[in-house]
Structure 1
């Protein structure tokens, strides 16, 4: 999605990092300006990572896809 955001207008905030064994959870926020719509996207994100030998071997990203669709002016059938 990065090509759809205005360069230099993105912010990432990490609110919390939780680590236990080989697992980690990162909670934060992304804020970007969508070039096509001119709308600001601000969404909570959660990343769940599995780490082995110092390398990320699995990453799950959870974000507010409804808010993303609204910011991109997309409905169930794509851009409007």
Structure 2
């Protein structure tokens, strides 16, 4: 049996994503180091954008996700790994709750893994498209 520490960086990040979409908050947070640095790039008036440090700050980010987004599709297409680093690329579609608009984007998530957990998370998407999806009308 493979232990948490024997998984590759890409497997750790894929496991986090699977857990996140299962909507089990505590199991999702258990995939992160206590001092995780969490970054989502884009316009600061979008509620989930910005840099957060530590599990409590990520817990606050996760609380913002359900009232703002309905995930419709999320596909990891490629995983690139080098030691403790993983880059996953893919495509997703979410519905923006406040506007009812669908938002689709390619994405890249760049992560650093330490002791079988995510220590740094940097999610890159079409931030302008996301901002536009949050605009009424």
Coarse TM-score class (shorter-chain normalised): 0.7 to 0.9
Q: Which has the higher strand share?
A: 1
Corresponding residue of 2:92:
30
| Aligned-residue RMSD, C-alpha | 1.8
How far does residue 35 in structure 1 lie from its aligned partner after superposition?
A: 2.0
Q: Which has the higher helix share?
A: 2
In the TM superposition, structure 1's runs of 4+ consecutive aligned residues that sit over 3 Å from their partners are none
TM-score by length of 1: 0.78
Residue of structure 2 in register with 1:69 after alignment: 131
Shift, 1:70, TM fit: 1.0
Q: How many residues align?
A: 73
Unpaired stretches in structure 2, ≥5 consecutive residues: 1-47, 49-64
Q: Which has the higher contact order (CA 8 A, sep 6+)?
A: 2
Match of 2:68 in 1: 4
Residues 19-72 of structure 1: CA deviation (Å, up to 9, x unaligned): 111110010122111122221100111111111221111111111110001111
